Amino acid sequence: MNYSFDFSVVWENIDILLAGAWLTLKISLVAIAFGLVIGVIGSLCRTSGNKILNAITLAYVEVIRNTPYLIQLFFIFFGLPNLGIKLSAEQAAILSLAVNFGAYSTEIVRAGVESIPQGQWEAGMAIGFKKLAIFRYIVIPPALANIYRALVGQVILAVLFTSIVSQIAAEDLTYAGDYLNSRTFRSFEIYFTVALLYLAIVWLIKGVAFLIENQAFKFAKYRR
């Protein structure tokens, strides 16, 4: 091995990589926000007691969880135009990521809601709380504390998944790496840096999640 590493290519083009990283963050954030909404609605359908709603939601969850994200992305980006629905690369990326994250978060949120014993509801009613107030003040906080770590883990996986949207030419961090690689052929230096940038994003999320956990879930500390 007499290869001489040269990271100057990376430093000279760091602005391209950072622009890509910015789009990665943006796509992730929007998709995760939409995905969470899907997850909350999905978990309500799963726990509603309505058999049809439950079956439809369960089918959605199982189909998404048992097929690769790449196929889901291609199905939406290349497949939907067959039905006359044309999406830009970014729209298809966000839609597919939201649908993907929605399925996983449906199950996570459902587990959270079901982790709260019925007695909590009854206790709320006994001290005269209305249903919405019970949900907001008695059920949600401990449910959220229970699922918080699973949710953060899923958010990190979702951010790592976004790298795949480069394959439909959404100009994210991985796409920026591909672009530089095709110009300079410094494959190792570029992809290694790109990988470390993803790692930095993951650590950033972990750090923020840790701070939020310490602040918001102080009440749940005794349980850990």
Contacting residues toward another protein, per CB under 8 A: 1, 3, 62-63, 65-72, 74-75, 78-83, 156, 160-164, 166-167, 174, 177, 181, 185-188, 191-192, 194-196, 198-199, 202-203
Among candidates 101, 91, 88, 72, which has minimal Cα distance to 27? 91
Between 148 and 161, CB nearer to another protein: 161
Which region, left, alpha or beta, applies to residue 185 given φ > 0 means left and ψ of -120 to 50 means alpha? left
* Closest approach of another protein to the CB of residue 51, in Å: 20
* DSSP assignment string, 148-183: HHHHHHHHHHHHHHGGGGGGGT--SHHHHHHHHHHH
* Closest approach of another protein to the CB of residue 140, in Å: 25
* Closest approach of another protein to the CB of residue 77, in Å: 8
**Class of residue 40 by CB neighbours under 10 A (exposed 0-12, middle 13-18, buried 19+):** middle
Residue 219 tokens read as 């009440």
Between 43 and 96, CB nearer to another protein: 96
* Closest approach of another protein to the CB of residue 40, in Å: 23
* Closest approach of another protein to the CB of residue 104, in Å: 12
Between 69 and 148, CB nearer to another protein: 69
Q: Which amino acid is located at 44 in the chain?
A: L
Between 101 and 161, CB nearer to another protein: 161
Number of H helices, E strands in the chain: 10, 0
Between 89 and 134, CB nearer to another protein: 89
